[in-house]
Structure 1
């Protein structure tokens, strides 16, 4: 091959390569635009569910602390008043522990007989957080299908009848 012919072939090859490179110029941006929403949705779901698990753990801790507070309540009143006071103290302790969730959290104390033959009294603390009405982070449209509507936790303590009053 003559040098002039080789040079022409090389120039033709360069022109073809430049045309292909120009045609591919926006391909990377389009690929990124197509893949980014999927990656963002996955990251957002991970963050959302991590915060939901943290809130659930916080509610569980608050219910346990509230039930434990019912053990420490001292009262010289009737049995029902003492149980009501212990339940209220349990809710107050639970709300103190779950201070970040307290605006949307509901605490329901209850007492009932328990144990063999109903010889004991139990105080139950039930905490409910309406997550759908008060999400920690905004919920994406399709993520709302799998996000729980509310978070609940409960704890029960058993009281000796002689220690209630």
Structure 2
């Protein structure tokens, strides 16, 4: 009687695949933290760029609002209101001479009315300067990307008041 010989190629192949399943899990575990850091870094950096544009816009809006007001006291009040309206979506407000997020002072807010440089004494200018300490107070804290974020976000806008 002849003995039947079974082909064992399928068994060898399935053993190899079983060993590879563990290797894929290990590779995924090694790549996942790098992938998450990259994704959250892009999100955090993009939000910082959006906030940078918001601070620039807030300074410009504050100077414009002050330029159309009648008195110097009214100019400062209107400028501060315009800055606060522009930065409201980020939870940042201009309170006195400080930028505040929640209960924490995160920067400075200066609104001044003075004689324009190089102009006659009757020509006045409104200057709105916002300075946010971004690296110390990021809006989206992502561990590990602090070194690529700017130390300060500082914008100043000047409007001439005749």
For this structure pair, what is the TM-score category when the shorter chain's length is used for normalisation?
0.7 to 0.9
Match of 1:97 in 2: 86
RMSD, matched Cα: 2.2
Partner of residue 44, structure 2: 48
- TM-aligned CA deviation for residue 156 of structure 1: 0.5
Residue 126 of structure 2 aligns with which residue? 123
Q: Provide TM-score, normalisation by structure 1.
A: 0.76
Return the alpha-carbon distance in structure 2 between the equivalents of residues 139 and 39 of structure 1.
13
Query: Aligned with 1:137: secondary structure?
Result: coil
Alignment partners' CA distance in 1, 2:38 and 2:81:
38
Residue 52 of structure 1 and its aligned partner are, at CA, apart by 0.6
Which string of whole-angstrom CA distances, capped at 9 and with x for unpartnered residues, describes residues 78-115 of structure 1? xxxx3x55234312321222122212453102344336
Structure-2 residue corresponding to 1:19: 15
Q: Aligned to 2:129, what secondary structure does the other structure show? A: strand
Partner of 1:107 in structure 2? Answer: 109
State the alpha-carbon separation in 1 of the partners of residues 3 and 67 from structure 2.
Answer: 99
Q: Corresponding residue for 1:148?
A: 150
Equivalent position of 2:68 in the other structure = 72
* Residue equivalent to 2:97: none
SS state at 1:96 partner: helix
**Distance across 1 between alignment mates of 2:18 and 2:81:** 68
Secondary structure of the 1:148 match is coil
Deviates more, 1:65-74 or 1:91-100: 91-100
Larger Rg: 1
Instruction: Check whether the contact 2:63–2:157 (CA below 8 A) recurs between aligned residues.
Output: yes
CA distance in 1, matches of 2:47, 2:24: 34
In the alignment, is the contact (CA less than 8 A) between 1:66 and 1:125 conserved in 2? yes
Q: 1:40-85: CA deviations, max 9, x gaps?
A: 111111100111111111111111111011112213xxxxxx3x55
CA contact (8 A) 2:61 2:83 kept: yes
Q: Distance in 2 between matches of 1:105 and 1:89?
A: 20
Asked whether the 8 Å contact 1:70–1:90 carries over to 2, the reply is yes
